[in-house]
Amino acid sequence: MGQCFSLKDLGPLTFFLGIEVIQTHAGLLLSQHKYILDILCRANMDAAKPVSTPLPSSANLSSSAGSALSNGSEYRRILGSLQYLTLTRPDISFAPSLSLHAYSDSDWAGDRDSSISTTGYVVFLGSNPISWRAAKQRAVARSSTKAEYRALAATASELIWVRNLLSELGVSVPRSPAIFCDNVSATYLSVNPVLHSRMKHIAIDLHFVRDLVDRGFLHVSHISTRDQLADGLTKPLSSARFCLLRSKLGIADSSFVLRGRYQINPSSSQKETKSHQINHSTSQQKETKSP
């Protein structure tokens, strides 16, 4: 690239677009600690107590609940910042095993206002998540099987795109990608050549996934709901379940603060701040007494 463009070597990457990059013996660690603090300050929540899950398991949100916001623009800005925050994962070390697989899940009629279901999937390269999504489906599903199969089709589309991208980058995936789904009926439909009349509403998704399976581009396997790693992308979970799935996704839950290449203990950081304040006030007193 240096022959075509004027380049300047700035050394190892440490900070980029609000993301701290820390190089470790295991690979790269990404953190948005400063970005999170900025969001909390903008929302006047810098003194708020932390919680273990984004939503309580009993949460049932509705557009008619609550009161109107006094500043809708600021709410949308904070919401956009939170969406950008979902881009990072602390564990992105390159796996020795280049197995490409995904977990696909969906709730059923989870939206209280529209009864629209939510699709959730996470794509893994080896043991590391490289692509994930949680989004509402475009239409109401009349059964849990239809909701799960729509999620399955969305996951298959993303999985094939990722495989093609890896191929362009020169990364060879030795085996056909696998999709793990916890709905038995959706798993069966992916290999059943018969199109039932009650499934005609999702006929395009049915033919899309079946064609990929028939051509050997991917295969669909059933998995227990207990082992469904995309479960947290479709519904609120209990604290224990949420923390378990978070750890399996490779998300670090550390008690220290990341600052560049160093790890700063919060308690020691506070002691250093107090010590600095005492020394600073002492020096001011000495300057006042001196002629």
Q: Give the max Cα distance, the chain.
A: 97
Instruction: Indicate if the pLDDT at residue 208 is higher than 60.
Output: yes
What letter represents residue 47's amino acid?
A
Confidence of residue 228 (pLDDT cuts 50, 70, 90): very high
Q: Give 87 or 286, the one with higher predicted confidence.
A: 87
How far apart (Å, rounded) are the C-alpha atoms in residues 100 and 133?
A: 16
Nearest Cα to Cα of residue 35 among 15, 18, 10, 57: 18
Query: What tokens were used for 143?
Result: 């059964």
Q: What is the pLDDT of residue 4?
A: 84
> Mean pLDDT throughout 220-249?
90
* CA distance readout (Å), 27 to 16, 23, 96: 17, 6, 12
pTM value?
Answer: 0.59
The residues, ordered by sequence, that sit 6+ positions from 97 with a Cβ below 8 Å of its Cβ are: 126, 127
Q: What is the pLDDT of residue 222?
A: 94
- Local confidence band at 48 (pLDDT 50, 70, 90 cut-offs): confident
* 101 closest CA partner among 151, 159, 152, 148: 159
Asked whether residue 129 carries a pLDDT value surpassing 70, the answer given is yes
Query: Per-residue pLDDT for 3 more than 70?
Result: yes
Residue 86's alpha-carbon distances to 14, 36, 110, 233, in angstroms, are 19, 11, 22, 12
- Nearest-10 crossing angle of helices 203-214, 144-168: 50
Q: Where in the chain is the domain with CATH 3.30.420.10?
A: 97-250
Give the H/E segment covering residue 158. helix 144-168
134: phi then psi, degrees, rounded to nearest 5:
-135, 115
Whole-angstrom distance, CA of residue 168 vs CA of residue 252: 30
Average pLDDT over residues 230-251: 87
Within a 10 A sphere around the Cβ of 218, how many other Cβ atoms? 21
Q: What CATH class does 97-250 carry? A: alpha beta
Which residue is associated with the tokens 């600021």?
74
What is the model's pLDDT at position 153? 94
Instruction: Output the DSSP codes for 10-67.
Output: --S--EETTEEEEEETTEEEEE-HHHHHHHHHHTT-TTPPP-SSSS-TT----TTSS-
